[in-house]
Amino acid sequence: MGKRYLIFMKKAIYPGSFDPVTNGHLDIISRAAQLFDEVIVAVIRNPDKKTKFSLSKRKKMLKNCLLGLPNVKVNNFDGLLIDYARLREAKIIIRGLRAVSDFDYEFQMALTNRKMAPEIETIFLMTDYRYSYLSSSFVKQIARLGGDVSALVPGAVVKELRRI
C-alpha cells in the first residue's frame, strides 16, 4: 500500500530564516506540500539577526529548490508571524522539529501564538531522521572551514556557500 495522506485543504505557512535552506528544511516543505493545498515558505526579515545571505538571495535559493512543488510559494515578512498569517489568510503554522531540544522553544512559541491568535493552529512536523542533527548554523560553519556540505544542502546552495 502506498503512502496515504490526510489532506487538510488549507493554507499553511512555514516560517524561518533559511540562512541557508538545508535538506532538512526541504524535507519539511515537501511533506507539508502533500498535506496542504498551499504552503507559503515565509522568509523572515529580522534586523536583529545577522544573516550570511541577503533576504533576496535566501528567497532565490528557496525558489530554485522548490520548482517541482507547484503548491509552494516563497514570500517574506517582518513583524509578528501571526499578523503575517492573518494577512495571508493562513490558519496553520508549520514548525519543524529535529530533536527534543527544539520542542521546548517551539512549544512556548506555539502557545504564545495561540494566546494572541486562537484561530491559528501550529502543527509540528518531525524532520526525517537523516536530518535530525542538521542546522543552518552547522552548515555555515562547515562551509566556512572548507568542509564538504554537499550532502547537507542542495547543489545550488553549495555553490552559494563557496562564494562567502
Q: List, for residues 55-112, the tens digit of each pLDDT value.
A: 999 999 999 999 999 999 999 999 999 999 999 999 999 999 988 778 889 999 999 9
Q: What is the CATH superfamily name and number for domain 11-132?
A: HUPs (3.40.50.620)
pLDDT of residue 1: 45
* Active site positions, annotated: 25, 49, 98, 136
pLDDT in tens, 4-55: 555 556 999 999 999 999 999 999 999 999 999 999 999 998 777 789 999 9
Res 101: pLDDT: 77
Q: What is the DSSP string of the chain?
A: ---------SEEEEEE--TT--HHHHHHHHHHHHHSSEEEEEEE--TTS--SS-HHHHHHHHHHHTTT-TTEEEEEE-S-HHHHHHHTT--EEEEEE-SHHHHHHHHHHHHHHHHH-TT-EEEEEEPPGGGTT--HHHHHHHHHTT---TTTS-HHHHHHHHH-
**In this predicted structure, what is the pLDDT of residue 68?**
93
Indicate the domain borders of the chain.
11-132
Class of residue 4 by CB neighbours under 10 A (exposed 0-12, middle 13-18, buried 19+): exposed
Model pTM score = 0.91
